[in-house]
Amino acid sequence: MAEVVLDVRSITKTFGGLKAVNDLSFVVREGEIVSLIGPNGSGKTTTFNLITGLYEPDSGDVLLKDESIAGLKPGQIYERGISRTFQMLRLFSNMSILDNVLVGMHGRTRANVIDCMLHTPRMRREEAESVARAKEILGLFPGRFPASRHSQPALSLSYANRRRLEIARALAGEPALLLLDEPVAGMNPAESLEVMRQIRDLRDMGYTILMIEHDMNVIMGASDRVIAMDHGEKIAEGAPQEVANDPAVVEAYLGKRGADTAS
């Protein structure tokens, strides 16, 4: 079996009296797409925030390739290989499309202030490499970011392209694990389908992906494995079809009575 990339070990996070994430454990293996599903407020985004260091778990541990990352700052976790996108888009709106991706390389580039002030040959070389790589990443979305648009501000993009740009920025970190928080939220069916294919392409290129999704077509079409959450707890895990038909999952989504009528 493929190597475990992410190992989440019974993490818990409480806000006031609310257990947003409760004793949650799961693993993500290299080269797979795992979907995290669950009704609104079930703790999916909070799980992402715990993995990426925005919050520190009250208890439990998160391991990236056997190394504990719980308690590290977001920047450090990013440098160790976890990139993410946000449910509410968070682009650098007034910066150019290319610069958005280049910011994603900040942690891996080494030019210091003096280099940058003087544009030393070392800095220029690194910069040229970064720009080339950034263009390569933007090229993963064919036709969406033509070179003529690279210098335009991110906010000039359409909504769907902004979501794509956020993925591109996350890829700039050369992540061992890519977290996507509702990547097709707000897209029409055709756009969702295209993004779903792109996510599969990324997996085929070797990326490991954990995504939160509500869109059933995308979940069924893209995921290798699905984890369902409710009230901060894991209620089911397995192949997409299995989880979708799991009584506990149906109940979480439709309520007890809904589940009875459905069966």
Ligand X SMILES: Nc1ncnc2c1ncn2[C@@H]1O[C@H](COP(=O)(O)OP(=O)(O)OP(=O)(O)O)[C@@H](O)[C@H]1O
Interface ranges with ligand X (CB under 6 A): 15, 18, 20, 38, 40-46, 87
Binder of another protein out of 38, 43, 104, 240 (CB under 8 A): 104
For position 116 contacting another protein by CB under 8 A, the verdict is: yes
x/- string (CB under 8 A) for another protein, residues 146-185? --x--xxx-xx------------x--xx------------
For position 188 contacting another protein by CB under 8 A, the verdict is: no
CB of 240 to ligand X, least distance (A): 18
Specify the stretch interacting with another protein by CB under 8 A; choose among 88-96, 214-222, 223-231, 236-244: 88-96
CB of 84 to Mg ion, least distance (A): 12
For position 185 contacting Mg ion by CB under 5 A, the verdict is: no
Tell me phi and psi for residue 198, to 5 degrees. -65, -35
What residue type is assigned to position 214 of the chain? H
Nearer to ligand X, 44 or 203 (CB): 44
Nearer to ligand X, 48 or 145 (CB): 48
CB of 230 to ligand X, least distance (A): 9
CB of 130 to another protein, least distance (A): 8
CA 187 vs CA 153, 161, 198: distances in Å: 21, 10, 14
Cα torsion 136, 137, 139, 145: sign: negative
Specify the stretch interacting with another protein by CB under 8 A; choose among 5-13, 98-106, 186-194, 236-244: 98-106
CB of 71 to another protein, least distance (A): 15
Q: Which residues of 62-94 are buried (b: 16+ CB within 10 A; e: fewer)?
A: bbbeeeebbebeeeebbebbbbbbbeebebeee
CA 64 vs CA 3, 43, 46, 67: distances in Å: 11, 20, 18, 5
> Which residues on adjacent β-strands are paired with residue 237?
227
Query: Alpha helix locations (H) across the chain?
Result: 44-51, 74-80, 97-103, 113-118, 121-138, 159-171, 189-204, 216-222, 240-245, 247-262
d(CA 236, CA 233): 9
Nearer to ligand X, 105 or 235 (CB): 235
Site residues for Mg ion, window 19-78 (CB under 5 A)? Answer: 45
Question: CA gyration radius for the chain?
Answer: 19
> Interface residues with another protein (CB under 8 A)?
45, 48-49, 52, 54, 73-75, 78-79, 83-84, 86-88, 90-95, 99, 102-109, 111, 113, 115-119, 123, 127, 130, 148, 151-153, 155-156, 169, 172-173
